[in-house]
């Protein structure tokens, strides 16, 4: 009997020694949470990494956030460009609660307060869309910094601009990975709103680059800040044209021969507009 008890004790000690005491144990609540299919598990926050093809900055004020990068222009109280990657895996919808807009603490001169937009007649138009960053809550909420918005006509923001954002998400699913640069065309003598004189761009642009196994495709859009029912392809322009209007070199890191060939193109036939 003593020998039997000793054997049982030895087996118990052997079992306990095999347990990794450094591994945290889940509580019952945690088990229930992750076993409940009605509770989606948000993707973990991605580690911060630099954008692959950073544009030049006319102000040398480049702000690196975890989920996008921007170049801030204090004179116009907004970003001259916002750049980010958009992948197929990021196109999800968790229906997060919409947060309040807040100022960007990384802008040392102070990004515009959201109150500049109040009763101005203009929307706080996202540059990096919230729907492009809905794969986790932190990414989603990061798009509600005032450095990531620009005054947009309501019909433009909810109409053709929204249609273009949806089309880019469609392309991201179809082509797996895209690189997006977007912003307003900032120029002298623009209309302003609010006490901080936030400039109202007359035009907005989006540039989309696809890279697949060393091959590149590019398309660019230039849209008036106004309502439009026209098809999106009517607003396709060359990247060269946007560079002339903004003074920004959008893809200086691309090999010159590839950059020059892509940036002069205005063809949209290889992109699906169905």
Q: Which residues of 94-115 are buried (b: 16+ CB within 10 A; e: fewer)?
A: eeeeeeebeebeebeeebbbbe
pLDDT score for 194: 98
Place of tokens 């010159």: 256
199 burial (CB, 10 Å; 0-12 / 13-18 / 19+) is buried
Domains of the chain: which residue ranges? 46-263
Q: Examine the residue annotation and report whether 126 is marked as an active-site residue of this protein.
A: yes
Assess contact for 111 and 145: CB atoms under 8 A: yes
pLDDT score for 83: 98
Q: Which fold has domain 46-263?
A: Extracellular Endonuclease; Chain A (3.40.570)
Assess contact for 152 and 204: CB atoms under 8 A: yes
Using 50, 70 and 90 to split pLDDT, how confident is the model at 213? confident
What the block records as the tokens of 250 is 């959008």
Over range 228-255, report the average pLDDT. Answer: 97
Residue pLDDT, tens place only, 44-92: 444 445 578 999 999 999 999 999 999 999 999 999 999 999 999 999 9
Alpha helices in the chain (DSSP H): 2-17, 28-35, 137-142, 154-158, 160-175, 239-246, 256-263
Assess contact for 70 and 81: CB atoms under 8 A: yes
Over range 229-251, report the average pLDDT. Answer: 98
DSSP bridge partners of 86: 178
Q: Which of 6-20, 144-158, 222-236 has the lowest mean pLDDT?
A: 6-20
Q: Is 60 annotated as a binding residue?
A: no
Over range 263-271, report the average pLDDT. Answer: 93
pLDDT score for 28: 32
Assess contact for 148 and 82: CB atoms under 8 A: yes
HSE-up of residue 250 (Cα within 13 Å, Cβ side): 33
């Amino acid at each position: 009997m003593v020998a039997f008890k000793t054997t049982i004790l030895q087996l118990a000690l052997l079992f306990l020694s095999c347990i990794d005491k450094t591994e945290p144990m889940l509580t019952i609540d945690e088990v229930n949470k992750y076993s409940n299919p009605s509770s989606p598990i948000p993707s973990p926050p991605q580690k911060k990494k630099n954008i692959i093809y950073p544009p030049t900055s006319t102000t040398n004020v480049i702000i690196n956030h975890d989920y996008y990068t921007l170049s801030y222009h204090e004179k116009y109280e907004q970003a001259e460009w916002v750049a980010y990657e958009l992948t197929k895996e990021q196109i999800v919808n968790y229906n997060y609660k919409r947060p309040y807009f807040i100022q960007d603490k990384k802008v040392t001169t102070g990004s515009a307060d959201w109150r500049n937009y109040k009763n101005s007649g203009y929307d706080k138009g996202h540059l990096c869309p919230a729907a492009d960053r809905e794969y986790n809550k932190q990414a989603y909420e990061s798009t509600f910094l005032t450095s990531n918005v620009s005054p947009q006509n309501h019909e433009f923001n909810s109409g053709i601009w929204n249609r273009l954002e949806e089309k880019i998400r469609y392309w991201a699913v179809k082509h797996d990975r895209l690189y997006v640069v977007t912003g307003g065309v900032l120029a002298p003598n623009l209309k302003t709103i609010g006490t901080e004189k936030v400039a109202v761009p007359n035009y907005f642009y989006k540039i989309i680059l696809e890279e697949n196994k060393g091959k590149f495709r590019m398309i660019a859009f230039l849209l008036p800040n106004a309502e439009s029912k026209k098809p999106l392809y009517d607003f396709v322009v060359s990247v060269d044209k946007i560079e002339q209007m903004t003074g920004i070199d959008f893809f200086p890191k691309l090999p010159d021969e590839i950059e020059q060939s892509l940036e002069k193109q205005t063809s949209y036939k290889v992109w699906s507009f169905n």
